[in-house]
Amino acid sequence: MQPAASARGAGAAWPAYVTTSVICHAGAGAAAIALPQAWPWALAAIAANHIALTAGGLWPRSQWLGSNWTRLPASAAARGEIAITIDDGPDPAVTPAVLDLLDRHGARATFFCIASRARAHPELCREIVRRGHSVQNHSDSHSHRFSLLGPGATRRDIAVAQATLADLTGVAPRFFRAPAGLRNPFLAPVLQGLGLQLVSWTRRGFDTVRREPAAMLARLADALAAGDILLAHDGNAARSASGRAVLLEVLPGLLAQAHARGLVAVTLPAAADGAVTP
């Protein structure tokens, strides 16, 4: 079992947002006691703090609520690496075709799997790993209420997914992506406790809601550069006019453009470790 992507000791310092929030609440309380007429301002300060925490959770690429990879480490970018991340599977109607396309181009990808779907399709999960790709943690249930869960329920959901995916593939995930990228302030300490690194993305294809392959390719590839983390979907994927998941029509062009720019698609663990790329 690999250690966490970024080593963090037990008892590491609180994330900055926790310290800032504690200071804000304590300061507002002290001000309200010392200057009773200032209580509306103290209340406003606390409200502003909560709005900032909420906004940080609703903005998937923000760093306000703890460490969040929006790009690969500089060392991976220097090697010309990109990471294609594929969410919400495994899906028996789409994932096998995605694997064939990746094989054809000699590319590797990271599949952020929903653990309940992995339990329904365990062979597909194992096949992803057998073909040189990586399976990472995208929660157990992919609940639309995930960002509303308290710390206990958040930890239970992610830990169950972690156990499922490690058991099915023989490799413990090291990375986590929140459902829809939405978070709350409880997530960072939970991930720290489980040794997981949060990953969002540099660019996303919006391919759960948009059906046009050309537009998705442009969103992902027009500014494609070393170190990019791209987000696409095999599960919950919108269908193009041909009835196929949009990613299946975009992947060949995306991989061709990456190749033309001298970029290599690797898994997140390979990018983190500097492993020899295929």
87 or 207, CB closer to Zn ion? 87
Kindly indicate which of the ranges 61-69, 79-87, 150-158, 163-171 contains the residues binding Zn ion, using the contact rule CB under 5 A.
79-87
Identified binder of Zn ion from the candidate list 53, 72, 88, 190, rule CB under 5 A: 88
Comparing CA positions, the residue from 143, 94, 148 lying closest to residue 115 is 143
- How near is the Cβ of 139 to Zn ion at its closest, in Å? 8
| Smallest separation, CB 78 to Zn ion (Å) | 30
- Alpha helix stretches (DSSP H) within the chain: 16-34, 39-58, 74-78, 95-104, 115-120, 122-130, 151-169, 187-194, 213-221, 246-260, 268-273
CB of 206 to Zn ion, least distance (A): 12
Question: With contacts defined by CB under 5 A, how many residues of the chain interact with Zn ion?
Answer: 2
Give the whole-angstrom CA distance, residue 86 versus residue 98: 9
- Which CB atom, from 81 or from 88, has the smaller least distance to Zn ion? 88
Q: Which amino acid is residue 113, in one-letter code? A: C
Nearer to Zn ion, 88 or 157 (CB): 88
Nearest to 210 by CA among 246, 176, 248, 258: 246
Q: Distances from the Cα of 71 to the Cαs of 5, 144, 183, in angstroms?
A: 14, 25, 18
Which span sits near Zn ion by CB under 5 A: 7-15, 48-56, 82-90, 219-227?
A: 82-90
User: Amino acid identity, residue 158?
Assistant: I
Tell me the sheet residues that pair with 184. none
Indicate whether 207 belongs to the interface with Zn ion (CB under 5 A).
no
Q: Who contacts 91 (Cβ-Cβ below 8 Å, separation ≥6)?
A: 117, 121, 234, 235, 237, 245
Name the residue nearer to Zn ion (CB basis): 15 or 89: 89
Stretch that binds Zn ion, among 84-92, 143-151, 167-175, 262-270 (CB under 5 A): 84-92
Task: Report in angstroms how near the CB of residue 154 gets to Zn ion at its nearest.
Answer: 16
Counting contacts by CB under 5 A, is residue 91 touching Zn ion?
A: no
Residues 246 and 173: their CA atoms lie apart, in Å, by 27
Closer residue to Zn ion (CB): 81 or 91 = 91
Q: With binding defined as CB under 5 A, does residue 87 bind Zn ion?
A: yes
Closest-CA residue to 233 (of 246, 243, 220, 221)? 246
**Nearest CB to Zn ion, comparing residues 28 and 86:** 86
Measured from the CB of residue 88, what is the shortest distance to Zn ion in angstroms? 4
Determine the residue type at 3. P
- Which secondary-structure segment (H or E) carries 136? strand 134-137
CB of 18 to Zn ion, least distance (A): 26
Range in contact with Zn ion (rule: CB under 5 A) among 23-31, 85-93, 209-217, 240-248? 85-93
Least CB distance from residue 240 to Zn ion, whole Å? Answer: 19
Binding residues for Zn ion, per CB under 5 A?
A: 87-88
